[in-house]
Amino acid sequence: MTAQSFQCPSCGAPLKPRENASIISCPHCYTSVIVPEELRQDPEAGEWVTLVFDGFASDDNNWLVGNQTSEYFAKLNRTIADGRYRWEAELGKLNSISRAWLTGYQVSDFHLIVNCKHISGSKAGSAWGMIFRVRDNQNHYSFRMTDSGSFAVSVQNDGQWSNLVDWTKTDTIKPNGVNQLEVLARGTHFTFTINGQVVSEIDDDHFSQGLVGLAIEGYTLGEKIIFDFIDVTLRERKTT
């Protein structure tokens, strides 16, 4: 690889960015991929700034930690140690979700990247993901995946859930490894990526800005699940 090329995450072929394109199609396998920021010939590139990179060496960003039981989780414990933000849970109800978000970063146009590993629990019976343009627990977007190889995108508006992308199978997910989710938001347009490959693009205008964060879900009563969030990167596009 040269300094001006990168590998297709699907087939490994060398790819060269085209001018200011943030997404290109691999000419070998036709997979859509996000071009790394540093390789884009983008006149707006200087307007993107990193607001947060958190590798969880410590709790500098005041994430939720400690025990937090509820009717939904008979056990829920979050800890930050050794470069991991670990969530351990035992479901008290079917179809339960728990969230935590960064405070102090209201963003509109942004790029959010999260790496996580599913440690225990059934591959289809639980999920992890990111939430964004968060107003509160009842109003936000959600992008999540399961180790069984599916992803979905939803919006919760005044507590009512709607799927913007129904649960969809993809071979981009590594069922026993660390997986990376990304969302790139520009206005009402969202691009969703798993392990460097674009899996969906949508337009939606429910929320124009908000916070970003993390979430886990469980679907089986009594199941014990563990997820390790490894790092979070939040970048924002500054507007004049």
What's the CATH number where 215 sits? Answer: 2.60.120.560
212 and 117 housed in the same domain? yes
Give the pLDDT of residue 238.
75
Across 62-77, average pLDDT: 92
96 and 32 housed in the same domain? no
92 and 172 housed in the same domain? yes
Per cent of the chain over pLDDT 70 is 90
The answer to whether residue 197 scores a pLDDT higher than 80 is yes
- Is the whole model's pTM more than 0.85, yes or no? no
* Number of residues that make up the chain: 240
111 and 22 housed in the same domain? no
Give the pLDDT of residue 191.
96
8 and 58 housed in the same domain? no
Give the pLDDT of residue 30.
66
177 and 210 housed in the same domain? yes
What range does the domain containing 24 cover?
A: 1-43
104 and 185 housed in the same domain? yes
83 and 52 housed in the same domain? yes
Backbone CA torsion sign across 24, 152, 204, 113: negative
What does pLDDT average to over the chain?
89
121 and 137 housed in the same domain? yes
118 and 56 housed in the same domain? yes
The answer to whether residue 230 scores a pLDDT higher than 80 is yes
Give the pLDDT of residue 62.
95
Q: Give the chain's domain count.
A: 2
| Lowest-confidence pick of 34-38, 107-111, 182-186 | 34-38
Characterize 148-171 residue by residue with b for buried, 16 or more Cβ atoms within 10 angstroms of its Cβ, and e for exposed: bbbbbbbbbeeeeeeebbeeeeee
118 and 233 housed in the same domain? yes
Rounded-to-integer distance, Cα 232 and Cα 47, Å: 20
Across 36-61, average pLDDT: 79
Rounded-to-integer distance, Cα 143 and Cα 160, Å: 16
120 and 161 housed in the same domain? yes
Contact criterion met (CB below 8 Å) for 142 and 127? no
The answer to whether residue 38 scores a pLDDT higher than 70 is no
- Backbone dihedral region of 48: left (phi > 0), alpha (psi from -120 to 50 degrees) or beta? beta
